[in-house]
């Protein structure tokens, strides 16, 4: 429902910025086979049963995200689609939730006229700041900036 509301807000030009935070991380989701909350399961300690439950939760969340992207793609706007004119970013603040690792974050950028279909790996030794992605996104929509937080410059791999 949140994704449908976000699409409607963008489609009607009520806003061009939407942030969705999915609450309920400590609640047990109503998914068959899942016995604990998402947060508890994310601290799986390599327990195979917890990892399978985590996969179930994340598959459902990503399926809902995929449906939202398809809906944006299937909505005409201007000479293209709503997805062509909208940058959609999903990710996590943890690369390894089990150990609270904050490097190698799983981030997915869709839409916005970018060339997609690839994987960009940051520089692990020099810790490519995620904020460089934000600089790239800001510039894509006309904001004249070369920095955002710790990000100086853009991710050249996106062009």
Output phi, psi for 81, to 5 deg.
-125, 165
58 burial level (CB within 10 Å; 0-12, 13-18, 19+): middle
Tell me the C-alpha distance between 2 and 30, whole Å. Answer: 18
Check residue 119 and give its pLDDT: 85
Check residue 24 and give its pLDDT: 67
Per-residue pLDDT tens digits of the chain, which is 159 residues long: 889 999 999 999 999 889 988 776 788 889 999 999 888 898 888 999 999 999 999 999 899 999 999 999 999 999 999 999 999 999 888 888 888 888 888 899 999 988 888 888 877 787 788 899 999 999 998 999 999 998 899 988 887
Contact 109, 125 (CB under 8 A): no
70 burial level (CB within 10 Å; 0-12, 13-18, 19+): exposed
Contact 153, 146 (CB under 8 A): yes
Check residue 83 and give its pLDDT: 95
SS3 assignment, position 131: helix
| Structure tokens given for 68 | 């939202």
């Amino acid at each position: 429902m949140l994704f449908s509301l976000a699409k409607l807000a963008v489609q009607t030009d009520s806003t061009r910025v939407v942030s969705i935070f999915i609450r309920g991380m400590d609640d047990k989701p109503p998914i068959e086979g899942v016995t604990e909350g998402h947060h508890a399961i994310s601290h799986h300690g390599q327990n195979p049963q917890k990892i399978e439950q985590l996969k179930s939760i994340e598959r459902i969340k990503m399926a809902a995200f995929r449906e939202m992207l398809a809906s944006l793609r299937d909505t005409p706007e201007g000479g293209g689609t709503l997805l062509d004119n909208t940058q959609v970013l999903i990710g996590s603040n943890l690369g390894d939730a089990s150990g609270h690792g904050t490097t190698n974050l799983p981030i997915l950028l869709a839409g916005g006229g970018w060339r997609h279909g690839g994987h960009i790996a940051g520089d692990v030794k020099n810790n490519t700041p995620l904020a460089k992605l934000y600089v790239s996104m800001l510039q894509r929509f006309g904001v004249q900036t070369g920095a955002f937080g710790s990000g100086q410059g853009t991710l050249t791999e996106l062009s």
